[in-house]
Amino acid sequence: MTVRVRFAPSPTGYVHIGGLRTALYNYLFAKKMNGTYLMRIEDTDRTRYVEGAIENLIHAMEWSGVIHSEGPFIENGEIVQKGEFGPYIQSERLGLYQKYVDQLIEEDKAYYCFCTKERLENVRSIQKAQGKITKYDGFCRGIDKEEAKKRVENGEDYVIRLKLPANKIIEFEDVVRGKVSVNTNDLDDQVLMKSDGFPTYHLAVIVDDHLMGITHIIRGEEWLPSTPKHVYLYEAFGWDSPKYVHLPNILNDERKKLSKRQGDVAVGDFRKKGYLAEGLINYISLVGWTPDDNEEIMNMDELIEKFSLERVSKSSGVFDVKKLNWVNAHYIKKLDVDDLTNRCIPYFIEEGIINEDEKDSKYEWMKKIVSISQENISYLAEIIDRAQIFLGEEVKPEDDNAAETLKLPHVPEMLKVFNKHIQENELSDEFLKGIFKLVQTETGHKGKNLFMPVRIALTGQNHGPDMKATISILGKELIEKRINYSINNYC
């Protein structure tokens, strides 16, 4: 059997971090099994459709490296579809769904329902008050088929519902959860075709997965309650059912479902902050799955090699931002400094530290900041925090200890000597290596009594980046202004 899997998002806005993980697991499994991973757009719920969402989906997947081999792609700004099982956008497949729902009607496996919205709400209210499962009460199941067709022809509003058999046990094997067994008496006669002529998810997904040859359905556990109906639909059509894999939810640190209200949940949010695709993918793979060797840092090829559905957890995974930062920092540290600098430039521009026209003339200055920050940033936007100590003429001691250090009697004169040497010399590597020795020789002060006041006068901090690099980044003019400011305000 040739493995075929799919990622089938709805174009309702941004790509959720949970959606990225679902796509990733499908992709890894397909690659591991030398199979095919495709993307299908499920846009039959027109009330939730968001303009531009398909393009956003495709771009997000391309950025992440989870790239399908069949489905919609962007070429020259246009959506094009590639693959022999297209179209891959459900709204372009409506004729197919009508054909199959008509088959179910003729075989008495589905029926027309004319119940109004008001009646359905009343039924649900009564059931809820009685402590019963809220579901359709079967009011239209007994309508004669020919009579129902006449009512449709007369323009009466209707939907088409699945006619589940009574008291039938539906069983299926889930790769993650084992055997699942449900009685149809506990299920609803699901709507298959809506009044607007669009199929519901439950019909479209079955038809599409069958026609596209999907062998494994890997999706979130929120679809687990619907799967028995899908299994029955496969049986009703006389088709072989694929294997099911229901992935655990991703929770926040409060063990609640990830929500936009509580922080970043969209792939675009993390991309905007400057998380690397490699870091995000590496981390997301571990939220619900662990390799046999418990390795935590893995590139895409290593993930493919080690991935197995059998090691997907039954329990929900917690999205730990600190762990994500640790993983992402690993990939940042591996970047060439020029590559990292170029990735950081947009953040300097966005923050107004430089303008677009200065990115070449100030490149080396930015590169120095990036170079001394590379070991300490978890995502690219943090470079702005690291850059702050190199901006502006005024310096403020970070705490009382720093302020007291600048008040020591020897500090003003020592800072003036330091500044004199800075102003009289080129800030070459050789000079910067010996600057403190020169000051020590002239003033007699050394060790902490020398280094600490200079660092605090230049940056306001007790500890920080390498002083040679700090001096080089600040430059003569800013060093003089900061030393004069510190002497005049704190010494």
Q: Which of the residues are catalytic?
A: 260
Beta-sheet pairing, 250-251 with 317-318:
parallel
How far is the C-alpha of 279 from the C-alpha of 299, rounded, in Å? 9
Residue ranges of E strands in 248-346: 250-251, 317-318
How far is the C-alpha of 81 from the C-alpha of 58, rounded, in Å? 12
How far is the C-alpha of 59 from the C-alpha of 42, rounded, in Å? 17
Provide the CB-side half-sphere exposure for 75 (13 A, CA): 6
Of 199, 229, 197, nearest in space to 90 by CA = 199
Q: What share of the chain is helix, strand, coil (3-state, %, to 5)?
A: 50, 15, 35
- Provide CB contacts within 8 A for 89, sequence distance 6+: 40, 41, 43, 54, 72, 81
How far is the C-alpha of 112 from the C-alpha of 105, rounded, in Å? 8
Q: Is 343 helix (H, G, I), strand (E, B) or coil?
A: helix
How far is the C-alpha of 380 from the C-alpha of 345, rounded, in Å? 10
